[in-house]
Structure 1
Amino acid sequence: MLAIKLWNFFRGYAIIKVEGLAIEKFLNLIMANDIYIWDVERKSYTTIVAKVSLRGFKEILPYARKTNCRVFVLSKKGFPFLALHLKRRKMLVFGALLCFVLIYIFSTFIWRIEVEAVNNVDKEVVIEKLSKLGLKPGISKFAIDIDKLETQFLIENDNVSWIGINVKGTNAFVKVIGKVKPKEVLSKDEPCNIIAKRDGIIYKMTVLEGEAVKKVGDTVKAGDIIVTGIIEKPGLETRFVHANAEVIARTWYEVYADVELKKQVFERTNNSITITKIILGNNTITISPKKVDFKTFDKEEKSITPPNFPVKIVKEVYHETKAKTLVVSYSEAQNIAFQKALENLKNVLSKDSKIVGKKENATVIQNRILRANLIVEVLENIGIEEKISYIQEGNID
């Protein structure tokens, strides 16, 4: 079917209207004589619209006269008519060819550099250093050696472990991974204490190595030693060990969350304005039917062209919005606020922590905001390692 449509397009065809009282007889005659017409559409009892090739148009005229039907040409389509039209508008053809040539030339340049930085690498610094090495917007793809540039970048930047540059279309995608400093982990042979990371009451304690300084039921403050790695026994030499213990304590957190009882939301009206932008490098052509004069609006943006196409066509739709006051009931706001406060706390707690109790309180501020105050009791491991300073805690004589 597609092949037939292409064939008819290159040969040219006409869209015709046939009027008469013997339409069926007319159609039967041309079909009997193998004259091909297509897309036949009946408009009324005495009128049809159809498509016919240029050769077929000449062949149907005798049968139209024979059946007293009149044939009108509504429009002419296809390559022959398009070529004739373009022949009269040589500057248009020249402009189109020039446009394609310019698009090809511009597609051989890099116009945008996108940097993805990992492990505390500054994007701006990367862009600046790449620019010094030759990779910057407006540079020809043929003027840079990617492998050489990557190697030189690694040589000049000790804090980078890997760089990858991928050129797609007119875009250069750069990924830089910084070197990660190894986290200091105390060796099992290195003496340490177990201290409290926050205030609490010891609920359960399991000591695997070291000597307990606190016991179950004791109140501890952040920084207090719970299990010491300094073992002192009468008549024996002082030993320094790597203390190891699990200290489960009852701790308390106080968290807040606010919810507006009255808040303003914006809803779309039926008014909108569409703007088309043609972007080529740093140049932008804006096509707009009128100025966007909405006081408030939502903006939708959609790219019409493929991602790597050198010329970017963007369609922007501005939807007018109007303010509306949304009222939230006290009970609904209370539920939302408490849930929000609890979620904030869960983001802070470790996975092994367990919430065992909570006290809720809500207050309204200026008849506008509901503030939830949540006091939560948690069972969590508060023991952390602290390296022993021999000079302060041990005898080095």
Structure 2
Amino acid sequence: MLAIKLWNFLYGYAIIRIEGLSIERFLNLVISKNIYVWDVKRTDHSTIVAKISLKGFKLLLPYAKVTKCRVYIVEKRGLPFIILYLRRRKMLVIGALSCIILAYIFSMFIWSVEIVNPKNVDESSIISELDKLGLKPGISKSAIDIPKIQQEFLIDEKDISWIGIDIKGTKAIVKVVEKTTPPAILHDNVPCNIIAKKDGIIYKMAVLEGDAVKKVGDTVKTGDVLVSGIVERPNTDTRFVHSMGTVLARTWYEGYADVSLIQQKYERTGKKITVTKISMGNSNLTLSPSKIDFKNYDKKVKLITSNYSPIKITSETYYETVPVEKRLTKDEAKRLAIDKALENIKPAFGKDAKIVSRQEKITMVNTNVLRADVIVEVIEDIGTQENINYNTEVKIERSNN
């Protein structure tokens, strides 16, 4: 069947309308003479529409006279008629060919340069330097020497430790990695204390250098000295050292979240509208109706052409949705509220912190809103280094002596 349809497309076929009171007899005669007719559809009691090859159309005309049926050609289709149509519209063919040729020519050049992950690096300076080295919009791909550009770029830009250039379509994607700046920490030869950056109860201490001022079980406040860098021993001079160590403490965080028992969701009705758009530069062409009559909808965008092609064809499908209410059970709302409360708390402590226990309290704010109050106990490192203040701490030490 597919082979026959392909054959008829290549040689052309016609969509015909047959009218008369003896259509069944007409079709029986045609079929008995091995004249192939397909996609036969009755539109009313005296009319049918069908498809037939051009050769077959000439053969069935005598049988139409015998059965007193009238046969009309509704439309001619197939490759021969497409060629005939294009011959009559030479400018359309020339325009289409010109677009294809221009698209091919444009694809041989770089039209945009994208910097990926510049972060703290000045993106404009990177683009300016690449422009000097020859990587810029409008440059031919064949004129770009990527290894040479990368090497010269690293020589000129002292703040960049690595650069990668990847050509995709008409776009040059440039990835840069800045040189790592040493963190703002105190050098080993700088005397310092370890102080508490949070309130808590000391759970565990490991002091490598300095004198512990607090001990396990002590309650500390933010700013309290945990390990002193001022070391004093009997019959020896006072030493100032760079305190080092880990101070783990039990800390507590509290958060809450409200959840409505009535949740509104949107479900698709099955209706959809598809809009096809063609864009080249700042020019846009919409091939399908662009008016969306849906009050609520989900939108799905699919790029048909390559992401780096100068001519972009996108298909936008709009699915109609309607609001549907769903009532959660109290257990479902409780689990959701607790999860949300925990998510609200987590940013307050570090990723290395460990939650050891939690307390939950569930209350109904009103008939439809449930609230979860959560208190978590966390073990985390609360120590941070701080320079010794010689104007206060040292004077106090001397006065005590």
Choose 100-109 or 316-325, whichever is displaced more.
100-109
The unaligned stretches of length 5 or more in structure 1 are: 16-20, 22-29, 31-36, 40-48, 61-71
Choose 76-85 or 191-200, whichever is displaced more.
76-85
Decide whether the 8 Å contact of 2:355 with 2:376 is kept in 1. Answer: no
Provide the rounded CA distance (Å) in 2 between the counterparts of 1:307 and 1:284: 16
Aligned to 1:364: 365
Decide whether the 8 Å contact of 2:362 with 2:370 is kept in 1. Answer: no
The RMSD of aligned alpha carbons is 5.1
Aligned to 1:295: 295
Counterparts of residues 133-172 of structure 1 (less than 5 Å): 139-141=138-140, 145=144, 147=146, 158-172=158-172
Equivalent position amino acid for 1:281 in 2: G
Decide whether the 8 Å contact of 1:211 with 1:230 is kept in 2. Answer: yes
Aligned to 1:231: 231
Provide the rounded CA distance (Å) in 1 between the counterparts of 2:243 and 2:337: 42
Relative distance call for 1:328 and 1:7 in structure 2 (3 A) is: closer
Decide whether the 8 Å contact of 1:146 with 1:165 is kept in 2. Answer: no
Relative distance call for 1:209 and 1:152 in structure 2 (3 A) is: closer
Provide the rounded CA distance (Å) in 2 between the counterparts of 1:7 and 1:294: 43
Counterparts of residues 60-99 of structure 1 (less than 5 Å): 83=83, 86-99=86-99
Corresponding residue SS for 2:98: helix
Decide whether the 8 Å contact of 2:279 with 2:313 is kept in 1. Answer: yes
Aligned to 1:216: 216
Given the alignment of the two structures, is residue 374 of structure 1 paired with residue 374 of structure 2, yes or no? yes
Decide whether the 8 Å contact of 1:163 with 1:176 is kept in 2. Answer: yes
Decide whether the 8 Å contact of 1:230 with 1:240 is kept in 2. Answer: yes
Corresponding residue SS for 2:117: strand
Relative distance call for 1:202 and 1:140 in structure 2 (3 A) is: closer
Question: How much does 1:276 deviate?
Answer: 0.7
Provide the rounded CA distance (Å) in 1 between the counterparts of 2:185 and 2:199: 24
Question: How much does 1:141 deviate?
Answer: 2.7
Question: How much does 1:315 deviate?
Answer: 0.6
Decide whether the 8 Å contact of 1:135 with 1:144 is kept in 2. Answer: no
Question: How much does 1:270 deviate?
Answer: 2.7
Relative distance call for 1:389 and 1:92 in structure 2 (3 A) is: same
Counterparts of residues 244-263 of structure 1 (less than 5 Å): 244-263=244-263
Equivalent position amino acid for 1:244 in 2: M
Equivalent position amino acid for 1:171 in 2: K
Decide whether the 8 Å contact of 1:111 with 1:281 is kept in 2. Answer: no
Given the alignment of the two structures, is residue 286 of structure 1 paired with residue 312 of structure 2, yes or no? no
Choose 166-175 or 313-322, whichever is displaced more.
166-175
Equivalent position amino acid for 1:383 in 2: G
Relative distance call for 1:88 and 1:354 in structure 2 (3 A) is: closer
Equivalent position amino acid for 2:96 in 1: A
Counterparts of residues 264-275 of structure 1 (less than 5 Å): 264-275=264-275
Equivalent position amino acid for 2:267 in 1: E
Choose 311-320 or 352-361, whichever is displaced more.
352-361
Partner deviation per Cα, 1:122-181 (whole Å, 9 max, x = no partner): 5577567767988665x2436974657667765775543333333322222122322321
Provide the rounded CA distance (Å) in 1 between the counterparts of 2:308 and 2:340: 42
Provide the rounded CA distance (Å) in 1 between the counterparts of 2:199 and 2:149: 54
Question: How much does 1:88 deviate?
Answer: 4.6
Relative distance call for 1:149 and 1:283 in structure 2 (3 A) is: farther
Aligned to 2:120: 120
Decide whether the 8 Å contact of 2:134 with 2:144 is kept in 1. Answer: no
Question: How much does 1:86 deviate?
Answer: 4.2
Aligned to 1:67: none
Aligned to 2:105: 105
Q: TM-score, normalised by structure 1?
A: 0.71
Equivalent position amino acid for 1:160 in 2: I
Question: How much does 1:83 deviate?
Answer: 4.9
The unaligned stretches of length 5 or more in structure 2 are: 16-24, 26-33, 39-49, 60-70
Aligned to 1:333: 333
Decide whether the 8 Å contact of 2:117 with 2:176 is kept in 1. Answer: yes
Equivalent position amino acid for 1:141 in 2: S
Question: How much does 1:234 deviate?
Answer: 3.0
Partner deviation per Cα, 1:278-311 (whole Å, 9 max, x = no partner): 0112211112235213222221111112333331
Relative distance call for 1:377 and 1:313 in structure 2 (3 A) is: same
Q: How many residues align?
A: 386
Corresponding residue SS for 1:99: helix
Provide the rounded CA distance (Å) in 1 between the counterparts of 2:374 and 2:365: 15
Equivalent position amino acid for 1:269 in 2: T
Corresponding residue SS for 1:334: helix
Decide whether the 8 Å contact of 2:154 with 2:161 is kept in 1. Answer: yes
Provide the rounded CA distance (Å) in 1 between the counterparts of 2:9 and 2:331: 69
Aligned to 1:314: 314
Relative distance call for 1:146 and 1:206 in structure 2 (3 A) is: same
Provide the rounded CA distance (Å) in 1 between the counterparts of 2:205 and 2:99: 78
Provide the rounded CA distance (Å) in 1 between the counterparts of 2:384 and 2:192: 10
Decide whether the 8 Å contact of 1:200 with 1:219 is kept in 2. Answer: yes
Question: How much does 1:314 deviate?
Answer: 0.5
Corresponding residue SS for 1:333: helix
Decide whether the 8 Å contact of 1:269 with 1:321 is kept in 2. Answer: yes
Question: How much does 1:198 deviate?
Answer: 1.0
Provide the rounded CA distance (Å) in 1 between the counterparts of 2:288 and 2:131: 36
Aligned residues: percent identity? 49
Corresponding residue SS for 2:356: strand
Relative distance call for 1:122 and 1:300 in structure 2 (3 A) is: farther
Provide the rounded CA distance (Å) in 1 between the counterparts of 2:14 and 2:285: 37
Partner deviation per Cα, 1:28-68 (whole Å, 9 max, x = no partner): xx9xxxxxx9x9xxxxxxxxx9999x99xxxx9xxxxxxxx
Q: TM-score, normalised by structure 2?
A: 0.70
